[in-house]
Amino acid sequence: MRVRHRHGRSPRGLGLVEFVIVLPVAIVFVLGIVQAGFIYMAKLQINHATFQAARLGSLHNADEGVMKTALMRSLSPFYQNNFETNDSVRLAKAKAETELDQILHPVKLERLNPSALSFDDFGVKDPKSGKTYIPNDNLEWRLDKPGATSQQRLRDANVLKIRVVYAYQLKVPLMMGVLKRVMCGGQSGVDAFGNVGALDAVYPGGVSDECLRYYLRDRMPIESFAVVEMQTRAER
């Protein structure tokens, strides 16, 4: 005779029910850990790329075009196929994919300092080029008092600070759907807390810019900052 639970239920059947309940949660949890590791590695690469962009910008008058080029060059590992043994082909394909991705999901590079207020206080007009620049030479001998508009000192105005936001594509299956649901609402998933349409999600003034720019386009924003001292004069 088969041994049954005293309430008439088979222990094997109870174990199967528990397994069915726990398995989806465990899968999502494990996939989430794997994706978190990928995001951490991506953050390190973006931090490095941001610093390289700021470093090159400090040598080229804080030119945003130069910094953007250096940034994308340092982000090329995201687009390289490591199974391609020919280095020239791999780099050429990565460059093409980088340019295509920038058309669809452009990276955001913003120069936070020196700001427009810094140029208002310390800007000098170059009669030859017609550009306005912030003096970078002989700082120890120049008058060092806060500017009336920016409340910065000249040394502070000669510090380059940039902000980069990269639209990172998640690599692990299901994670983008979970993240999109959490950040922007949606019509999928359980109805335990009430479904909210993506365009009706509760945000000040409507759907957030992050949802429209990133999450609803299957991307996740990763932000990075870099601060370096200017080695040339900042221009605008």
CA distance 158 to 135: 8
Q: Does 176 score more than 90 pLDDT?
A: no
| In the chain, % of residues over pLDDT 70 | 84
Tell me what pLDDT residue 147 has. 86
Q: What is the mean pLDDT of the chain?
A: 83
| In the chain, % of residues over pLDDT 90 | 42
- Cα-based torsion angle of the residue sequence 61, 132, 141, 151 in order, rounded to the nearest 10 degrees: -100
Q: Does 233 score more than 50 pLDDT?
A: yes
Tell me what pLDDT residue 202 has. 45
Q: Which of 84-88, 161-165, 228-232 has the lowest mean pLDDT?
A: 84-88
Say if strands 124-125 and 132-134 run parallel, antiparallel, or are unpaired: antiparallel
Q: Does 122 score more than 60 pLDDT?
A: yes
pLDDT in tens, 182-220: 777 655 444 444 455 544 444 444 556 778 788 888 889
pLDDT band at 9 (very low <50, low <70, confident <90, very high): low
DSSP for 153-220, please give it.
-HHHHTEEEEEEEEEEPP-STTHHHHHHHHHH-BS-S--SS--B-GGG---TTSS-HHHHHTGGGT-E
Tell me what pLDDT residue 48 has. 96
